[in-house]
Chain A
C-alpha cells in the first residue's frame, strides 16, 4: 500500500511517501511561505524519485489544520486534484496530530503539539504513545497554554512539546510540568507525520473521497466563543 502525505498547513511544507509502514521518501522546506510555488514540484519530485505515478497511489493524506488559511487550501486543492481522476481515498489529518507523529516518542510518553494562534493563544492537542499506537488525549483546541495543563496533571515523565507554539507553551508551563521542547530542526510539521496519520485514519475507516475532503474549521478563541454566545443570547431575547 502506497501512501502519499502532503503538508502545507504550517510554516514548513513537505511531501512524503510510505510503502506500507516504511518511509521511502520525505522532503521538508521551511523557507518562508511559498507553498503555492513549491508544494507541487515537491510532490512531483517525490513521485519521480520513487518511480511512481499518481495512479499508483493507494491513499493521499493531507494536513487539514489548524493552520494558515491559504496553506490549507493549497494542500487540499493539490490532494483533491491528485485523488479525483483515480477516485483515490483521502485522509484529512489534523496538523497537530501530524506534528506529534513526526517525532520519536518513547513508549508511554506524552506529547503536546502546539501551533501559534496569536495574542498568547495556541492551537493545541495532546497525545500519548501506547505501544505502536498514538492515543489522543484531547480534541484539537485553542486557548492559552495553561488550558492544556490539566491534561498532564501528575505526569512525571518528560512531556515533549512540538510545533511553532512550543516555546510559548514551554515558557508558560515549565514551572508546573516536566516539559521538554523538541529542538528546532524537529519541531515543525513533517509530511511523514501526515502520511502516518493518514494510514491510521484509513485503518480506522476514516478515509474519505476527494469531494469530501475538507480543511478543519478555524477554531474559535475563548473570547470569540463568549462573544458568539452573547450574540446568540441577545438574538433569543
Chain B
C-alpha cells in the first residue's frame, strides 16, 4: 500500500503515469472518492504513461471513454451503473477480456462484482490543490 499527497494537478498526473507501468499488460484500476477529487487528472496520467494520445475527459455522460494507443485504455464512470446487467451492457467485461487497461470511477457502485486482482485507488480532497491518494494492490507503488 502506498499513500501519496499531491499538491498540484501535474503531481497527480505524474502519479498516474507511474501507475500506468502496472497496466502495460491490461488490468483494472478501481477508484473511490467523490466529485472533484482528481480522478480525471490521474487518468490523464495513466493515459500518458500507456502512450495513449487521445484527449482524456470525464466519462460522466458517455459512461466509457476509450483512448487509443499501444495498450487500449477504457475509462469508465460507474456513477449510473446500478446492477450487474448494467455492467455487462456497458461492455466493462469486454474491455477486460480484450486485455485493455481499464479504469473505473465510482467503483463503490460495482464493489460486489470486482474480481481480484485489481488496483484500488482512494482519493481524498484535502482542500485547495492538496489530495491524499491511497494505492492498494500495486506492486511498485
Query: A-side interface residues toward B, CB under 8 Å?
Result: 11, 32-33, 68-71, 118-119, 218, 220-221, 224
Contact = CB atoms under 8 A, between A and B. Distances in A.
B99 to A, nearest CB: 7
Contact of A69 (B89, B99, B115): B89
- Of the four ranges (under 10, 10 to 19, 20 to 34, 35 or more), the interface on chain B belongs to 10 to 19
A118 B91 contact: no
B111 interface: no
B99 A218 contact: no
Contacts of B89: 69, 218
Contact of A218 (B88, B97, B98): B88
Interface in B81-114: 83-85, 88-89, 91, 93-94, 97-99, 113
- Specify the main secondary structure of chain B where it touches its partner: helix
Interface in B62-91: 83-85, 88-89, 91
A224 B97 contact: no
Contacts of A71: 94
A33 B94 contact: yes
A119 B115 contact: yes
Nearest to A33: B98
A68 B94 contact: yes
A221 B99 contact: no
22 contacts: A11-B97, A32-B98, A32-B99, A33-B94, A33-B97, A68-B93, A68-B94, A69-B88, A69-B91, A69-B93, A69-B94, A70-B91, A70-B94, A71-B94, A118-B115, A119-B113, A218-B84, A218-B89, A220-B84, A220-B85, A221-B84, A224-B84
Nearest to B96: A118
A232 B89 CA distance: 22
Contacts of B113: 118-119
A119 B99 CA distance: 18
Contacts of A69: 88-89, 91, 93-94
Contacts of A32: 98-99
Nearest to A68: B94
Nearest to B100: A33
Contacts of B94: 33, 68-71
A119 B88 CA distance: 14
B97 A68 contact: yes
A218 B87 CA distance: 11
A188 B115 CA distance: 24
Contacts of B83: 224
A233 B91 CA distance: 30
